[in-house]
Structure 1
């Protein structure tokens, strides 16, 4: 089994101009719990996760503030920082005691496209509870997907510098890559990179307890008035269910469940032809993927590249 210094995806942090509306949506409809709040800043947890929070919202111009990753211990944090320095990666700050909510020890960098990444350990965890049968709320953060103008360059950065591995790829009939799914642990993917017209957030995905809870959750969000842009269905790559919605800020967010687990020593990456309907949706319940559907997740140009957030 491959031993990586990055253990898992912890949280996503977004800045949104309609902060109050966005916060209300994620608490009242999406099913997250606010565990800490400041003026224009909200930390939201999933009831089924020991992570202190899985989503941070901040009032500001729309952007991705950062993606937060977990590291097993302080020695691994220092080893990862040393590796990235040797690779001439640009740092936001060096390994240090973190003073924000939940604390910890870690550092921040810019990835090759200018997104801010945080790597941390030793933070305060929370007591998770078992999600009840038929309870339509997220159990945890599943994965985070970025749009990139140069798909292969972005994916290669995560492979070369953070030891991520491509689990599967989506390709056009002519063989051109359209999406790469990358893992840092047995989960089929913790991040993915999609070909897009600009760098931006493609979507955030939240794991539900099971199929029943996922389907009830999708119905709940539809009744909230949010628009489902694709689904419900079941992907081929990752074998997970999907139901994609637009949040009030125009970000694509997903309820999913049953994401595949893979064995590093046995798994062979596949190249799935996006023109085949079974690649898009094994069940055939979702509308066929089209340029109009794909465009929904292009999102606004991320104006936060190579600009560190204030918190």
Structure 2
């Protein structure tokens, strides 16, 4: 498969099911800086101020915490249909056939289970949301930057996204004792919109949100620290992707990140690196973050995802 056959264009949103819905909604709006663009009883669609996407996070009230789905965009109905047909022929389970979407902005799309059983949505023709250019000093997310997922068999998961969805490998993290641990995958010129980490079970590793710049990233980090939100790791700057990072826990223990300056690649000339993260400069070029230790790793493992091979009800 060549780049000409790449049918996924970009990351759209990440959808979370949460038991304490009201507390999560308050956190993601009042503290994290998203806008409750559309909400109904027990479900909210939260938009990032600078993004044309109708929403970057969907919260759904549920008895159990889970990752409902990860959504990606495609260029048009032809590409959506072609991807659904390709997946079906390969034996991938389709959760829904291509059709009109009932979520904000409408559009046309379908859902399927990836190899680990998480639900993935691909859509096109979603109405563009009225968004704006953020002003200097505004410490709220511009957009959803990337999503990282845990897999107990990450080599197979990476192979799935390469074979079926044509995600390209940007870089890999390894450790001399543990082997390869994280793979950064892209579907456009940005260094990664999806990364896959080796973990003890299927779960969400973290969701990352792009800030306007370094100053806004640091202001947002400071606001969360002053607000008593539990910090996991940061602030610092990774080597893979060259982006900044500040990781925090939302009220249900999902790790979420503020970032900025993710690297934009020349895909024609890029060659993936194999980075050894036993070198502390690989994890944090600045040397300002707390050490990558068992606490950081444990928070990134998250809870076992209860949504594996179970499609969300909406």
The verdict on a shared fold, with TM-score over 0.5 as the criterion, is: yes
Large movers: runs of 4+ above 4 Å: none
Q: Which residue of 2 aligns with 1:10?
A: 12
Residues 172, 274 of structure 1: 8 Å contact kept: yes
1:295 Cα deviation (Å)?
0.9
Query: Where does residue 68 of structure 1 map in the other structure?
Result: 71
Aligned counterpart, 1:52: 54
Q: Counterparts of 1:20-35 in structure 2 under 5 Å?
A: 20-35=22-37
Pick from 215, 219, 226 the counterpart of residue 216 of structure 1: 219
Distance change >3 Å, CA 175–CA 267, structure 1 → 2? farther
Partner of 2:234: 231
Partner of residue 209, structure 2: 206
The 2-side partners of 1:139 and 1:296 are apart by 25
Residue 128 of structure 1, CA deviation: 1.3
Range 122-131 or range 21-30, more displaced: 122-131
Query: What is the SS of the residue equivalent to 2:23?
Result: helix
The alpha carbon displacement at 1:174 in A equals 4.7
Q: What is the deviation of 1:264?
A: 1.6
2:124 is aligned, of 117, 121, 126, to 121
- After superposition, the CA RMSD in angstroms is 1.0
1:256-294 CA distance string (max 9 Å, x none): 000001122100000100100110100000112112221
Contact in 2 for aligned 1:207/1:255 (Cα 8 Å) = yes
**Residue number in structure 1 paired with 2:157:** 154
Alpha carbons 1:2, 1:264 under 8 Å: kept: no
Unmatched runs of 5 consecutive residues or more in structure 1 = none
Alignment match, 1:176: 179
- 8 Å Cα contact 1:70-1:119 kept in structure 2: yes
Structure 2: stretches of 5+ with no match in the other structure: none
